[in-house]
Structure 1
Amino acid sequence: MSNYDELHRFLLNAANVRGELVRLEESLQPIVHSVEYPVQIQRLLSEMAAATTLLTAILKFKGEIGLQIQSKGPVNYAVINATHDYTMRGVARWDESLSVLPESFQELLDSAVLVITITPQEGERYQGVVALDKPTLAECLEEYFTQSEQLATKVTLMTDMSEPTRARAAGMLLQVLPSQAANTDVKNDTQFDHVCKLTETLTEEEMFSLPVNDILYRLYHQEEVEVYPSHPVSFACSCSKQRSADALRNVDKEELLQIIEEDGAIKMNCQYCHSEYVFDSVDVEAIHNGQFIETRKDQ
């Protein structure tokens, strides 16, 4: 399907509103099928992936953004990390003793918060915490932008789980341009309110079947729409044997050698892509002598 795994940015000039639209398919599969997740977890990760991609477009610098859910409910933990060049990865943890998981967003989570972390390559890290006390993830993100950024924002998230082996997700974000941000109350901004109501008429069938240009025309054909070049979105994991070695450098060498003596090797697995990195006694000596050089990625 065309226009999938691409982020599309557009501007509604007359309404002073910027917008983004993303649809994920190929980039989503390594996340939702990395383990045998229940469909409810797949749906949650899919929504988070679409949302994180939309937020990635807001970054004005090189770095990473992460959306992490922490909960005391059936879902304990879920995270999607993305980079400024639109690569992402994610993972979730849930109560595997449950034979059936609830369907709704609120029932999956209990006493939950969403932690939004922005990590620039240069500069200070920023972290915001959002209470997940609304019926949907989209509504929680809207509240975050209204309170923390003082920007009226509309977030739409959709998923298509009709094919068990082919999850799809989509998202749209509309936001008042900063020059118009003095008014964050959507109800009092008639132009933004009008655009939001147009967006709410979009059906899931249209979102997942129509080309992006047709979607924008279907919604905003009476508006002045300026569309920017799209950006590809892909799955990528930043793990490496070198990063694993850097972590081992903080562990006492004798302790590492003892593990190798007992188990034959040190094996480290990435929770995101499940790559395995194996270290022997020669590696450990090199790591602690500052001479370790990554030569391959063990699978």
Structure 2
Amino acid sequence: MTQDTLYRYLFDNADVRGELVQLQDTYQNILSTHEYPQVLQQLIGELVAATSLLTATLKFEGDIGIQLQGNGPVSMAVVNANHQQELRGVARWDGELADDASLEQLFGQGYMVITLTPTHGERYQGVVALDKPNLAACLEEYFAQSEQLPTAIWLFTSASHAAGIMLQVLPSETDENTMFEHLCQLTATIKADEILHLDAEEVLHRLYHQEQVRLFDPVAVSFKCTCSRERSANAIRTIEQSEINEIVNDIGYVELGCEYCNSQYRFDAIDVAGIYSNHSAPNVQ
């Protein structure tokens, strides 16, 4: 299987578009930053695949984030991506989690926030409850509420791979519900072993060999964190200098860590003085 790629495709005989994403390295890089319980690894895999699928629908340059929140043992799980299919993610939890825990058992009274942030333009947020059996169904509800376009999503994970498929009716003046339902029935026949381990072209052939499918060039998907020393310095600058100086006087430095990638950014007394006087972060490591 070709690693970490997203394919977009259209059906020539129907106003329906499709996407297929298969991930390994991106998924594993996100998991490697924390020792996540098994059920949370699976959820993160689904969330990573889903975010990649939604990113491919963006009509602008910018970012997208899918965040799950609740009052259960998992307080938060989030994956962020940009229009270049660069993803990062993290989750927070407390205590032991059962391997077969449901969304409700993980998040309690939870909800999903999808945030679209164009590089130029206004930010948009959509919120739906986590009251469906799985993440895919919650995402389908989001599309039903926000875009009002029939959408179907399938998400798959294993210990090493994550994958997903999305079908969506394109805006048109014709009624495509019958054809959409037919294509959904075909797509639902896919098995986890197939989509997780076969090449995308083979998966699509098995699903739609009797349909007229137009396949576009694959897009690479990768893990990339947006943290930096400069951003950490900017975060420090939002705090009163006296508070930062007190920390530096006690232990010799102030250190900020990134939850997403575990990078650590340390600033000593000279660095801190430069942050508040020059409004720039020294390059000292």
Name the TM-score, length of structure 2 as normaliser. 0.96
Aligned length: 285
> What does residue 175 of structure 1 align with?
168
Q: CA deviation at 1:104?
A: 2.8
- The gaps in structure 1 that reach 5 residues or longer are 162-166
> What does residue 214 of structure 2 align with?
226
- The gaps in structure 2 that reach 5 residues or longer are none
Aligned partner letter, 1:93: R
> What does residue 180 of structure 2 align with?
192
Aligned partner letter, 2:126: G
Quote the Cα distance in structure 1 between the aligned partners of 2:49 and 2:156: 8
RMSD: 1.6
> What does residue 86 of structure 1 align with?
85
Which of 220, 224, 243 is residue 236 of structure 1 equivalent to? 224
How has the CA–CA distance of structure 1 residues 190 and 100 changed in structure 2, closer, same or farther, with 3 Å as cutoff? closer
Quote the Cα distance in structure 1 between the aligned partners of 2:229 and 2:180: 49
Q: Determine if the alignment matches structure 1 residue 277 to structure 2 residue 265.
A: yes
Moved more, 26-35 or 283-292: 283-292
Which of structure 1's runs of 4+ aligned residues deviate more than 6 A? none
Q: 1:51 touches 1:171 (CA, 8 Å); kept in 2?
A: yes
Aligned partner letter, 2:165: M
> What does residue 19 of structure 2 align with?
20
**1:68-217 paired onto structure 2 within 5 Å:** 68-96=67-95, 98=96, 100=98, 102-161=100-159, 167-179=160-172, 189-217=177-205
Quote the Cα distance in structure 2 between the aligned partners of 1:202 and 1:61: 31
> What does residue 36 of structure 1 align with?
35
Name the TM-score, length of structure 1 as normaliser. 0.91
> What does residue 164 of structure 1 align with?
none
Which of 233, 240, 254 is residue 242 of structure 2 equivalent to? 254
Quote the Cα distance in structure 1 between the aligned partners of 2:279 and 2:76: 36
Quote the Cα distance in structure 2 between the aligned partners of 1:265 and 1:53: 38
Aligned partner letter, 1:66: G
Q: CA deviation at 1:76?
A: 1.2
Aligned partner letter, 1:260: V
- Cα deviation code 1:138-168 (max 9, x no counterpart): 011111111211100010001112xxxxx21
Q: Determine if the alignment matches structure 1 residue 57 to structure 2 residue 50.
A: no
- 3-state DSSP class of the match of 2:90? strand
Q: CA deviation at 1:102?
A: 4.2
Q: 1:283 touches 1:292 (CA, 8 Å); kept in 2?
A: no
Q: CA deviation at 1:249?
A: 1.2
